[in-house]
Structure 1
Amino acid sequence: MAKAKQTAIITGGARGMGLATALIMAADHHLVLTDVDEQALADAVQRVEAAGGTAEYVVADITDRTQVDAVFAAAAKAGGLRAVVHAAGVSPHMTTAEKIIDINAVGTVHITDAAHSVAGEGFALVNVASIAAIMVPRFLIPTRAFRYAATDIDKFRRKLVSASLRGGRKMSAAQSYPISKAFVVWFSADQSARFGAKGARILSVSPGSFDTAMGQLEAKGGAGKLTEFAALKRFGKPEEIGELLAFCASDKPGYLTGIDILCDGGTKAGMGLKEKIELARQA
Protein backbone atom coordinates (compact mmCIF):
# COMPACT_ATOMS: atom_id res chain seq x y z
CA MET A 1 0.00 0.00 0.00
CA ALA A 2 1.37 3.41 -0.97
CA LYS A 3 2.22 5.75 1.87
CA ALA A 4 -0.30 8.58 2.26
CA LYS A 5 1.07 11.93 1.15
CA GLN A 6 1.68 14.34 4.00
CA THR A 7 0.85 18.04 3.95
CA ALA A 8 3.08 21.09 4.26
CA ILE A 9 2.24 24.78 4.55
CA ILE A 10 4.50 27.27 2.77
CA THR A 11 4.01 30.96 3.53
CA GLY A 12 5.24 33.35 0.86
CA GLY A 13 4.62 30.41 -1.45
CA ALA A 14 3.59 32.48 -4.45
CA ARG A 15 7.10 33.39 -5.55
CA GLY A 16 10.81 33.47 -4.75
CA MET A 17 12.21 31.19 -2.06
CA GLY A 18 8.76 30.01 -1.04
CA LEU A 19 7.84 28.83 -4.52
CA ALA A 20 11.28 27.28 -5.07
CA THR A 21 10.79 25.30 -1.86
CA ALA A 22 7.27 24.31 -2.87
CA LEU A 23 8.44 22.83 -6.16
CA ILE A 24 10.89 20.63 -4.25
CA MET A 25 8.59 19.59 -1.40
CA ALA A 26 5.76 18.77 -3.82
CA ALA A 27 7.51 15.49 -4.56
CA ASP A 28 6.23 14.02 -1.30
CA HIS A 29 3.84 16.57 0.20
CA HIS A 30 0.48 18.04 -0.62
CA LEU A 31 1.03 21.79 -0.37
CA VAL A 32 -1.02 24.59 1.11
CA LEU A 33 0.47 27.81 -0.24
CA THR A 34 -0.34 31.18 1.23
CA ASP A 35 0.45 34.78 0.32
CA VAL A 36 -1.45 38.03 -0.21
CA ASP A 37 -1.43 37.94 -4.03
CA GLU A 38 -4.19 35.62 -5.25
CA GLN A 39 -3.18 35.62 -8.93
CA ALA A 40 0.43 34.80 -8.03
CA LEU A 41 -0.79 32.00 -5.77
CA ALA A 42 -2.99 30.57 -8.52
CA ASP A 43 0.00 30.64 -10.90
CA ALA A 44 2.17 28.93 -8.28
CA VAL A 45 -0.38 26.14 -7.83
CA GLN A 46 -0.41 25.64 -11.61
CA ARG A 47 3.40 25.32 -11.60
CA VAL A 48 3.31 22.76 -8.81
CA GLU A 49 0.62 20.73 -10.60
CA ALA A 50 2.47 20.95 -13.93
CA ALA A 51 5.47 19.41 -12.15
CA GLY A 52 3.32 16.50 -10.97
CA GLY A 53 2.49 17.69 -7.46
CA THR A 54 -0.71 18.69 -5.71
CA ALA A 55 -1.40 22.04 -4.11
CA GLU A 56 -4.05 24.48 -3.03
CA TYR A 57 -3.84 28.06 -1.85
CA VAL A 58 -5.29 30.32 0.82
CA VAL A 59 -4.97 34.09 0.49
CA ALA A 60 -3.90 35.36 3.90
CA ASP A 61 -2.25 38.29 5.66
CA ILE A 62 0.00 36.76 8.31
CA THR A 63 -0.27 39.87 10.49
CA ASP A 64 -3.86 38.78 11.19
CA ARG A 65 -3.99 35.72 13.46
CA THR A 66 -7.51 34.87 12.27
CA GLN A 67 -6.28 34.61 8.70
CA VAL A 68 -3.30 32.52 9.80
CA ASP A 69 -5.69 30.14 11.55
CA ALA A 70 -7.64 29.82 8.29
CA VAL A 71 -4.47 28.61 6.54
CA PHE A 72 -3.91 25.98 9.20
CA ALA A 73 -7.56 24.96 9.03
CA ALA A 74 -7.17 24.29 5.30
CA ALA A 75 -4.10 22.17 6.00
CA ALA A 76 -5.97 20.27 8.73
CA LYS A 77 -8.75 19.53 6.24
CA ALA A 78 -6.20 18.20 3.76
CA GLY A 79 -4.83 15.97 6.53
CA GLY A 80 -1.39 14.89 7.69
CA LEU A 81 0.16 18.32 8.31
CA ARG A 82 3.83 17.59 9.00
CA ALA A 83 5.78 20.74 8.18
CA VAL A 84 5.63 24.50 7.76
CA VAL A 85 8.15 26.60 5.87
CA HIS A 86 7.58 30.22 6.80
CA ALA A 87 9.16 32.18 3.93
CA ALA A 88 6.83 35.20 3.86
CA GLY A 89 8.50 38.53 4.54
CA VAL A 90 9.25 42.02 3.29
CA SER A 91 12.42 44.10 2.94
CA PRO A 92 13.33 47.79 3.42
CA HIS A 93 12.60 48.95 -0.13
CA MET A 94 9.14 47.40 -0.07
CA THR A 95 7.39 49.16 2.80
CA THR A 96 7.61 51.08 6.08
CA ALA A 97 9.31 50.14 9.33
CA GLU A 98 5.94 49.48 10.94
CA LYS A 99 4.90 47.06 8.19
CA ILE A 100 8.26 45.31 8.31
CA ILE A 101 7.86 44.69 12.04
CA ASP A 102 4.23 43.62 11.57
CA ILE A 103 4.98 41.13 8.79
CA ASN A 104 8.45 39.84 9.64
CA ALA A 105 8.19 39.79 13.44
CA VAL A 106 4.53 39.76 14.50
CA GLY A 107 3.69 37.49 11.56
CA THR A 108 6.34 35.04 12.69
CA VAL A 109 4.80 34.95 16.17
CA HIS A 110 1.40 34.14 14.65
CA ILE A 111 2.77 31.39 12.40
CA THR A 112 4.86 29.89 15.20
CA ASP A 113 2.01 29.84 17.70
CA ALA A 114 -0.37 28.33 15.15
CA ALA A 115 2.23 25.71 14.24
CA HIS A 116 2.82 24.81 17.88
CA SER A 117 -0.90 24.30 18.42
CA VAL A 118 -0.92 21.45 15.88
CA ALA A 119 2.65 20.17 16.27
CA GLY A 120 3.26 16.57 17.14
CA GLU A 121 5.96 13.94 16.88
CA GLY A 122 8.06 14.56 13.75
CA PHE A 123 6.58 17.98 12.98
CA ALA A 124 8.96 20.73 11.76
CA LEU A 125 8.71 24.50 11.43
CA VAL A 126 11.41 26.34 9.46
CA ASN A 127 11.38 30.13 9.77
CA VAL A 128 13.24 32.18 7.16
CA ALA A 129 15.43 34.87 8.75
CA SER A 130 18.28 36.73 6.98
CA ILE A 131 21.99 37.41 7.04
CA ALA A 132 20.89 40.94 8.02
CA ALA A 133 20.28 39.59 11.52
CA ILE A 134 24.02 39.34 12.09
CA MET A 135 25.25 42.25 9.98
CA VAL A 136 24.47 45.10 12.39
CA PRO A 137 26.02 45.89 15.79
CA ARG A 138 24.30 43.98 18.57
CA PHE A 139 23.57 47.15 20.56
CA LEU A 140 21.12 48.19 17.83
CA ILE A 141 19.03 45.05 18.36
CA PRO A 142 16.46 45.40 21.19
CA THR A 143 16.87 41.81 22.34
CA ARG A 144 15.33 42.45 25.75
CA ALA A 145 12.08 43.45 24.04
CA PHE A 146 11.86 40.12 22.24
CA ARG A 147 10.58 38.32 25.36
CA TYR A 148 7.30 40.26 25.14
CA ALA A 149 6.39 38.31 21.99
CA ALA A 150 5.09 35.51 24.19
CA THR A 151 3.28 37.67 26.76
CA ASP A 152 2.22 41.02 25.28
CA ILE A 153 2.26 41.17 21.48
CA ASP A 154 1.21 44.83 21.36
CA LYS A 155 4.03 45.90 23.70
CA PHE A 156 6.43 43.74 21.69
CA ARG A 157 5.43 45.51 18.48
CA ARG A 158 5.68 48.99 20.02
CA LYS A 159 9.16 48.35 21.35
CA LEU A 160 10.47 47.01 18.03
CA VAL A 161 8.97 49.91 16.08
CA SER A 162 10.43 52.37 18.60
CA ALA A 163 13.89 50.82 18.23
CA SER A 164 13.57 51.07 14.44
CA LEU A 165 12.87 54.80 14.66
CA ARG A 166 15.85 55.71 16.83
CA GLY A 167 17.89 56.80 13.83
CA GLY A 168 15.05 58.84 12.36
CA ARG A 169 12.24 58.11 9.93
CA LYS A 170 14.53 58.11 6.86
CA MET A 171 16.57 55.15 8.15
CA SER A 172 13.75 53.37 9.97
CA ALA A 173 12.90 50.79 7.32
CA ALA A 174 16.56 49.84 6.90
CA GLN A 175 16.89 49.51 10.69
CA SER A 176 13.66 47.58 11.20
CA TYR A 177 14.67 44.80 8.82
CA PRO A 178 17.68 43.44 10.77
CA ILE A 179 15.72 43.92 14.01
CA SER A 180 12.84 41.85 12.66
CA LYS A 181 15.11 39.11 11.33
CA ALA A 182 17.22 39.00 14.50
CA PHE A 183 13.94 38.35 16.28
CA VAL A 184 13.15 35.45 13.93
CA VAL A 185 16.49 33.84 14.81
CA TRP A 186 16.01 34.47 18.54
CA PHE A 187 12.39 33.30 18.65
CA SER A 188 13.09 30.11 16.73
CA ALA A 189 15.75 29.17 19.29
CA ASP A 190 13.64 30.34 22.22
CA GLN A 191 10.70 28.18 21.16
CA SER A 192 12.72 25.02 20.58
CA ALA A 193 12.11 23.54 24.04
CA ARG A 194 8.39 24.27 23.74
CA PHE A 195 8.26 22.43 20.42
CA GLY A 196 10.60 19.73 21.65
CA ALA A 197 8.20 18.84 24.46
CA LYS A 198 5.83 17.70 21.70
CA GLY A 199 8.52 15.85 19.74
CA ALA A 200 8.61 18.64 17.17
CA ARG A 201 11.39 20.80 15.72
CA ILE A 202 11.78 24.51 15.02
CA LEU A 203 14.76 26.31 13.50
CA SER A 204 15.62 29.26 11.30
CA VAL A 205 17.54 29.61 8.05
CA SER A 206 19.30 32.89 7.22
CA PRO A 207 19.80 33.45 3.49
CA GLY A 208 22.37 35.85 2.11
CA SER A 209 21.87 37.53 -1.28
CA PHE A 210 19.53 35.54 -3.52
CA ASP A 211 18.25 36.14 -7.02
CA THR A 212 14.59 36.68 -6.19
CA ALA A 213 12.41 39.69 -6.89
CA MET A 214 12.96 40.91 -3.33
CA GLY A 215 16.70 40.22 -3.51
CA GLN A 216 17.05 42.22 -6.71
CA LEU A 217 14.99 45.05 -5.23
CA GLU A 218 17.55 45.30 -2.43
CA ALA A 219 20.57 44.91 -4.75
CA LYS A 220 21.53 48.58 -4.48
CA GLY A 221 20.72 48.70 -0.77
CA GLY A 222 23.28 46.12 0.29
CA ALA A 223 22.38 42.73 -1.18
CA GLY A 224 24.55 43.35 -4.22
CA LYS A 225 27.42 44.75 -2.16
CA LEU A 226 27.40 41.64 0.03
CA THR A 227 28.34 39.48 -2.95
CA GLU A 228 31.61 41.41 -3.26
CA PHE A 229 32.68 40.04 0.11
CA ALA A 230 31.40 36.51 -0.49
CA ALA A 231 33.50 33.48 -1.36
CA LEU A 232 31.00 32.81 -4.17
CA LYS A 233 30.75 36.20 -5.84
CA ARG A 234 27.23 35.90 -7.16
CA PHE A 235 23.64 35.90 -6.05
CA GLY A 236 22.34 32.56 -4.87
CA LYS A 237 19.72 30.77 -6.94
CA PRO A 238 16.22 30.35 -5.46
CA GLU A 239 16.42 26.57 -5.88
CA GLU A 240 19.66 26.50 -3.87
CA ILE A 241 18.00 27.96 -0.79
CA GLY A 242 14.87 25.96 -1.61
CA GLU A 243 16.84 22.73 -1.29
CA LEU A 244 18.09 23.76 2.15
CA LEU A 245 14.65 24.81 3.38
CA ALA A 246 13.07 21.62 2.08
CA PHE A 247 15.75 19.48 3.72
CA CYS A 248 15.38 21.25 7.07
CA ALA A 249 11.61 20.76 6.90
CA SER A 250 11.91 17.09 5.98
CA ASP A 251 12.14 14.22 8.45
CA LYS A 252 15.77 13.52 7.51
CA PRO A 253 17.51 15.96 9.92
CA GLY A 254 15.43 14.72 12.85
CA TYR A 255 17.87 16.00 15.50
CA LEU A 256 18.20 19.50 14.04
CA THR A 257 16.40 22.14 16.07
CA GLY A 258 16.86 25.40 17.96
CA ILE A 259 19.56 26.71 15.63
CA ASP A 260 20.01 29.18 12.78
CA ILE A 261 21.64 28.00 9.56
CA LEU A 262 23.42 30.68 7.53
CA CYS A 263 23.39 30.15 3.75
CA ASP A 264 25.29 33.12 2.36
CA GLY A 265 27.82 31.94 -0.22
CA GLY A 266 30.62 32.61 2.24
CA THR A 267 29.70 36.27 2.84
CA LYS A 268 30.17 36.30 6.60
CA ALA A 269 33.46 34.45 6.23
CA GLY A 270 34.77 37.24 4.00
CA MET A 271 33.73 40.16 6.19
CA GLY A 272 35.55 41.83 9.04
CA LEU A 273 34.76 45.03 10.92
CA LYS A 274 36.13 47.20 8.09
CA GLU A 275 33.83 45.58 5.55
CA LYS A 276 30.80 45.86 7.84
CA ILE A 277 31.44 49.57 8.32
CA GLU A 278 31.79 50.02 4.56
CA LEU A 279 28.51 48.23 3.99
CA ALA A 280 26.74 50.28 6.67
CA ARG A 281 27.95 53.53 5.10
CA GLN A 282 26.65 52.50 1.72
CA ALA A 283 23.27 51.52 3.14
Structure 2
Amino acid sequence: MSKLHEKLAVVTGGNSGIGYATARELKSQGATVIITGRNAEKVKAAAQELEVSGIVADVRNLTDIDQLVEQISTQYGKVDVLFVNAGVFQPAPLGQLSEALFDNQIAVNFKGAVFTTEKFLPILNDGASIINLSSINAYTGMPNTAIYAATKAALNSFTRTAATELAHRQIRVNAVNPGPIATPIFEKSGLKQEELEGMGAAMQQRIPLKRYGQPEEIARLVAFLASDDAGFITGSEYNIDGGVNVNPLVA
Protein backbone atom coordinates (compact mmCIF):
# COMPACT_ATOMS: atom_id res chain seq x y z
CA MET A 1 0.00 0.00 0.00
CA SER A 2 1.14 3.55 -0.61
CA LYS A 3 -1.47 5.70 1.12
CA LEU A 4 1.31 7.81 2.60
CA HIS A 5 3.34 8.18 -0.58
CA GLU A 6 5.40 11.40 -0.66
CA LYS A 7 4.49 12.22 2.95
CA LEU A 8 7.21 13.04 5.50
CA ALA A 9 6.54 11.47 8.90
CA VAL A 10 8.29 12.08 12.23
CA VAL A 11 7.99 9.56 15.07
CA THR A 12 9.29 10.63 18.48
CA GLY A 13 10.50 7.77 20.64
CA GLY A 14 10.72 5.67 17.50
CA ASN A 15 13.53 3.35 18.51
CA SER A 16 11.38 0.78 20.36
CA GLY A 17 7.88 -0.47 21.10
CA ILE A 18 4.91 1.31 19.56
CA GLY A 19 7.11 3.99 18.00
CA TYR A 20 9.28 1.40 16.26
CA ALA A 21 6.29 -0.56 14.98
CA THR A 22 4.62 2.62 13.76
CA ALA A 23 7.72 3.83 11.95
CA ARG A 24 7.83 0.49 10.14
CA GLU A 25 4.12 0.69 9.26
CA LEU A 26 4.34 4.28 8.02
CA LYS A 27 7.32 3.36 5.85
CA SER A 28 5.48 0.34 4.45
CA GLN A 29 2.68 2.67 3.38
CA GLY A 30 5.06 4.88 1.43
CA ALA A 31 6.08 7.59 3.88
CA THR A 32 9.56 8.96 4.31
CA VAL A 33 10.16 8.38 8.03
CA ILE A 34 12.36 10.04 10.64
CA ILE A 35 12.58 8.54 14.12
CA THR A 36 13.89 10.26 17.22
CA GLY A 37 15.01 9.15 20.65
CA ARG A 38 17.40 10.17 23.38
CA ASN A 39 19.73 7.14 23.29
CA ALA A 40 22.13 7.60 20.37
CA GLU A 41 23.06 3.91 20.04
CA LYS A 42 19.45 2.72 20.11
CA VAL A 43 18.31 5.36 17.65
CA LYS A 44 21.12 4.48 15.26
CA ALA A 45 20.42 0.74 15.51
CA ALA A 46 16.66 1.15 15.02
CA ALA A 47 17.12 3.50 12.08
CA GLN A 48 19.42 1.01 10.38
CA GLU A 49 17.01 -1.88 10.98
CA LEU A 50 14.03 0.10 9.70
CA GLU A 51 16.00 1.76 6.88
CA VAL A 52 14.79 5.19 7.97
CA SER A 53 16.52 8.31 9.24
CA GLY A 54 17.30 8.68 12.95
CA ILE A 55 17.97 11.85 14.93
CA VAL A 56 18.92 12.00 18.61
CA ALA A 57 16.66 14.31 20.62
CA ASP A 58 15.35 14.32 24.19
CA VAL A 59 11.84 15.76 24.37
CA ARG A 60 12.50 16.89 27.94
CA ASN A 61 14.96 19.41 26.54
CA LEU A 62 13.39 22.23 24.53
CA THR A 63 16.75 23.06 22.96
CA ASP A 64 16.88 19.51 21.61
CA ILE A 65 13.43 19.96 20.07
CA ASP A 66 14.51 23.26 18.51
CA GLN A 67 17.57 21.60 17.00
CA LEU A 68 15.48 18.66 15.79
CA VAL A 69 13.06 20.98 14.01
CA GLU A 70 15.90 22.95 12.45
CA GLN A 71 17.63 19.81 11.20
CA ILE A 72 14.47 18.36 9.71
CA SER A 73 13.51 21.66 8.09
CA THR A 74 16.95 22.06 6.55
CA GLN A 75 17.42 18.49 5.36
CA TYR A 76 13.90 17.34 4.55
CA GLY A 77 11.50 20.27 4.38
CA LYS A 78 7.95 20.33 5.71
CA VAL A 79 6.35 17.56 7.75
CA ASP A 80 3.03 15.85 6.96
CA VAL A 81 2.72 13.42 9.87
CA LEU A 82 3.84 14.00 13.46
CA PHE A 83 3.44 11.02 15.78
CA VAL A 84 4.06 12.32 19.30
CA ASN A 85 4.89 9.00 20.86
CA ALA A 86 7.76 9.49 23.34
CA GLY A 87 6.63 8.58 26.85
CA VAL A 88 7.58 7.05 30.20
CA PHE A 89 5.67 4.88 32.66
CA GLN A 90 6.81 5.01 36.31
CA PRO A 91 4.15 3.50 38.60
CA ALA A 92 4.04 4.27 42.31
CA PRO A 93 1.24 4.26 44.91
CA LEU A 94 0.05 7.31 46.79
CA GLY A 95 2.20 7.64 49.87
CA GLN A 96 5.30 6.73 47.88
CA LEU A 97 5.29 9.43 45.24
CA SER A 98 8.39 11.54 44.76
CA GLU A 99 9.07 14.85 43.12
CA ALA A 100 11.48 13.12 40.75
CA LEU A 101 8.78 10.70 39.55
CA PHE A 102 6.36 13.57 39.09
CA ASP A 103 8.79 15.85 37.27
CA ASN A 104 10.07 13.19 34.86
CA GLN A 105 6.66 11.95 33.79
CA ILE A 106 5.31 15.46 33.38
CA ALA A 107 8.45 16.47 31.44
CA VAL A 108 8.19 13.62 28.94
CA ASN A 109 4.51 12.74 28.71
CA PHE A 110 2.97 16.20 28.82
CA LYS A 111 5.46 19.06 28.55
CA GLY A 112 7.52 17.18 25.97
CA ALA A 113 4.41 16.36 23.93
CA VAL A 114 3.04 19.89 24.08
CA PHE A 115 6.30 21.52 23.03
CA THR A 116 6.93 18.96 20.31
CA THR A 117 3.70 20.14 18.70
CA GLU A 118 4.44 23.79 19.48
CA LYS A 119 7.94 23.72 17.99
CA PHE A 120 6.91 21.74 14.89
CA LEU A 121 4.03 24.03 13.91
CA PRO A 122 6.13 26.25 11.60
CA ILE A 123 7.32 23.25 9.59
CA LEU A 124 4.03 21.35 9.42
CA ASN A 125 2.29 21.43 6.08
CA ASP A 126 -1.29 22.65 6.04
CA GLY A 127 -3.40 19.52 6.13
CA ALA A 128 -0.86 17.67 8.28
CA SER A 129 -1.84 15.05 10.84
CA ILE A 130 -0.69 15.08 14.48
CA ILE A 131 -1.28 11.90 16.47
CA ASN A 132 -0.64 11.92 20.22
CA LEU A 133 0.02 8.63 21.96
CA SER A 134 -1.98 8.76 25.16
CA SER A 135 -3.30 5.89 27.29
CA ILE A 136 -6.48 4.29 28.52
CA ASN A 137 -5.04 4.99 31.98
CA ALA A 138 -6.37 8.52 31.59
CA TYR A 139 -9.79 7.05 32.45
CA THR A 140 -9.48 3.74 34.28
CA GLY A 141 -8.30 4.79 37.75
CA MET A 142 -5.75 1.98 37.75
CA PRO A 143 -3.84 1.84 41.05
CA ASN A 144 -0.25 3.10 41.15
CA THR A 145 -0.66 5.26 38.03
CA ALA A 146 -1.83 8.57 39.52
CA ILE A 147 0.90 10.68 37.92
CA TYR A 148 1.11 8.75 34.66
CA ALA A 149 -2.68 8.81 34.24
CA ALA A 150 -2.81 12.53 34.94
CA THR A 151 -0.23 13.25 32.25
CA LYS A 152 -2.28 11.31 29.73
CA ALA A 153 -5.55 12.98 30.73
CA ALA A 154 -3.83 16.33 30.26
CA LEU A 155 -2.54 15.24 26.87
CA ASN A 156 -6.05 14.26 25.76
CA SER A 157 -7.37 17.65 26.80
CA PHE A 158 -4.53 19.34 24.92
CA THR A 159 -5.39 17.24 21.86
CA ARG A 160 -8.94 18.56 21.75
CA THR A 161 -7.88 22.19 22.14
CA ALA A 162 -5.11 21.85 19.56
CA ALA A 163 -7.57 20.31 17.10
CA THR A 164 -9.80 23.35 17.45
CA GLU A 165 -7.00 25.90 17.16
CA LEU A 166 -5.31 24.25 14.18
CA ALA A 167 -8.44 23.50 12.18
CA HIS A 168 -8.02 26.71 10.17
CA ARG A 169 -4.89 25.14 8.69
CA GLN A 170 -6.69 21.83 8.12
CA ILE A 171 -4.22 20.24 10.55
CA ARG A 172 -5.90 17.30 12.25
CA VAL A 173 -5.01 16.38 15.84
CA ASN A 174 -6.09 13.10 17.38
CA ALA A 175 -5.13 10.86 20.29
CA VAL A 176 -4.71 7.11 20.53
CA ASN A 177 -5.37 5.50 23.92
CA PRO A 178 -3.77 2.05 24.07
CA GLY A 179 -4.59 -0.41 26.79
CA PRO A 180 -2.02 -3.00 27.90
CA ILE A 181 0.41 -3.49 25.02
CA ALA A 182 3.35 -5.87 24.88
CA THR A 183 6.16 -3.30 24.76
CA PRO A 184 9.40 -2.59 26.67
CA ILE A 185 7.80 0.37 28.50
CA PHE A 186 6.90 -1.87 31.44
CA GLU A 187 10.45 -3.20 31.66
CA LYS A 188 11.68 0.40 31.92
CA SER A 189 9.27 1.19 34.75
CA GLY A 190 11.70 0.36 37.56
CA LEU A 191 9.63 -2.55 38.88
CA LYS A 192 11.29 -5.81 39.87
CA GLN A 193 10.83 -8.82 37.56
CA GLU A 194 8.44 -10.57 39.95
CA GLU A 195 6.40 -7.39 40.26
CA LEU A 196 6.21 -7.09 36.49
CA GLU A 197 5.12 -10.71 36.12
CA GLY A 198 2.48 -10.36 38.82
CA MET A 199 1.12 -7.12 37.39
CA GLY A 200 1.13 -8.57 33.89
CA ALA A 201 -0.83 -11.67 34.85
CA ALA A 202 -3.38 -9.66 36.82
CA MET A 203 -3.86 -7.16 34.00
CA GLN A 204 -4.32 -9.85 31.37
CA GLN A 205 -7.11 -11.47 33.36
CA ARG A 206 -9.01 -8.17 33.42
CA ILE A 207 -8.79 -7.63 29.66
CA PRO A 208 -12.04 -8.87 28.09
CA LEU A 209 -10.17 -10.21 25.05
CA LYS A 210 -7.76 -11.98 27.45
CA ARG A 211 -4.55 -10.93 25.74
CA TYR A 212 -2.18 -8.03 25.48
CA GLY A 213 -2.29 -5.87 22.38
CA GLN A 214 0.61 -5.83 19.97
CA PRO A 215 2.51 -2.69 18.89
CA GLU A 216 1.62 -3.44 15.28
CA GLU A 217 -2.08 -3.09 16.10
CA ILE A 218 -1.49 0.42 17.42
CA ALA A 219 0.70 1.19 14.41
CA ARG A 220 -2.07 0.37 11.94
CA LEU A 221 -4.46 2.74 13.71
CA VAL A 222 -1.86 5.53 13.74
CA ALA A 223 -1.20 4.99 10.03
CA PHE A 224 -4.93 5.30 9.32
CA LEU A 225 -5.15 8.57 11.25
CA ALA A 226 -2.09 9.82 9.35
CA SER A 227 -3.68 9.10 5.99
CA ASP A 228 -6.16 11.03 3.89
CA ASP A 229 -8.72 8.32 4.68
CA ALA A 230 -9.05 10.04 8.08
CA GLY A 231 -9.39 13.49 6.52
CA PHE A 232 -12.59 14.34 8.40
CA ILE A 233 -11.38 13.13 11.80
CA THR A 234 -9.94 15.60 14.32
CA GLY A 235 -10.16 16.17 18.05
CA SER A 236 -10.98 12.51 18.59
CA GLU A 237 -9.66 9.79 20.88
CA TYR A 238 -9.40 6.17 19.89
CA ASN A 239 -9.38 3.49 22.58
CA ILE A 240 -7.55 0.38 21.44
CA ASP A 241 -7.49 -1.71 24.56
CA GLY A 242 -9.11 -5.11 24.19
CA GLY A 243 -12.16 -3.85 26.07
CA VAL A 244 -10.40 -2.47 29.15
CA ASN A 245 -12.47 0.70 29.03
CA VAL A 246 -15.62 -1.34 29.68
CA ASN A 247 -13.92 -3.52 32.31
CA PRO A 248 -11.47 -1.18 34.09
CA LEU A 249 -8.24 -2.40 35.68
CA VAL A 250 -9.09 -1.16 39.16
CA ALA A 251 -8.61 -4.24 41.29
Asked if 1:241 is matched to 2:218, the reply is yes
| Structure 2 gap segments, 5+ residues each | 93-99, 190-195
Over the matched positions of the two proteins, sequence identity in percent amounts to: 27
Q: Does residue 166 of structure 2 align to residue 183 of structure 1?
A: no
Residues 220 and 101 of structure 1: CA distance in aligned 2, closer, same or farther (over 3 Å): farther
Indicate whether 1:104 and 2:105 are aligned.
no
Tell me: CA distance 1:101–1:79, structure 2 relative to 1, closer, same or farther (3 Å). Answer: same
Which residue of the partner structure matches residue 210 of structure 1? 181
Q: What CA distance in whole angstroms lies between the structure 1 residues aligned with 2:44 and 2:175?
A: 27
User: Could you tell me how far 1:7 is from its partner in structure 2?
Assistant: 1.1
Q: Distance in 2 between matches of 1:263 and 1:247?
A: 13
Instruction: Quote the Cα distance in structure 2 between the aligned partners of 1:118 and 1:255.
Output: 22
Higher-helix-fraction structure: 1
Report how many aligned residue pairs link the two structures: 234
Asked whether the equivalents of residues 131 and 226 of structure 2 are also in contact (C-alpha less than 8 Å), the reply is: yes
Aligned-partner Cα distance in 2 for 1:224–1:132? 17
SS in 1 for 2:58: coil
Counterpart of 1:117, as a letter, is P
Aligned mates of 2:161, 2:247 — CA distance in 1: 29
Cα 1:186–1:214 change in 2 (3 A) is same
Q: 2:242 maps to what in 1?
A: 265
Alpha-carbon separation, structure 2, partners of 1:236 and 1:215? 14
Amino acid at match of 2:56: V
Decide whether the 8 Å contact of 2:78 with 2:124 is kept in 1: no
* 8 Å Cα contact 2:78/2:125 also seen in 1: no
Q: Does 1:82 align with 2:83?
A: no
Does the 8 A contact of 1:130 with 1:206 survive in 2?
yes
CA contact (8 A) 1:131 1:264 kept: yes
- In structure 2, the partner of 1:134 is 139
How do 1:97-176 and structure 2 match up within 5 A?
97-136=102-141, 174-176=145-147
Corresponding position: 1:66 with 2:63: yes
* Residue type at the aligned position of 2:109: N
1:5 aligned partner, one-letter code: E
SS of the residue 1:214 aligns to:
coil
Question: TM-score normalised to the size of structure 2?
Answer: 0.85
Residues 227 and 267 in structure 1, CA contact (< 8 A), matched pair in contact too? no
1:122·1:251 contact (CA, 8 Å) conserved in 2? no
Q: Offset at 1:113?
A: 0.7
The one-letter amino acid of 2:185's match is M
Amino acid at match of 2:103: E
Q: CA–CA distance in 2 between the matches of 1:120 and 1:81? A: 6
Which residues of structure 1 form unaligned runs of 5+? 50-54, 138-170, 279-283
What is the rounded CA distance, in whole Å, between the counterparts of 2:64 and 2:171 in structure 1? 23
Query: Helix, strand or coil: the match of 1:43?
Result: helix
Tell me which moved more, 71-80 or 216-225.
216-225
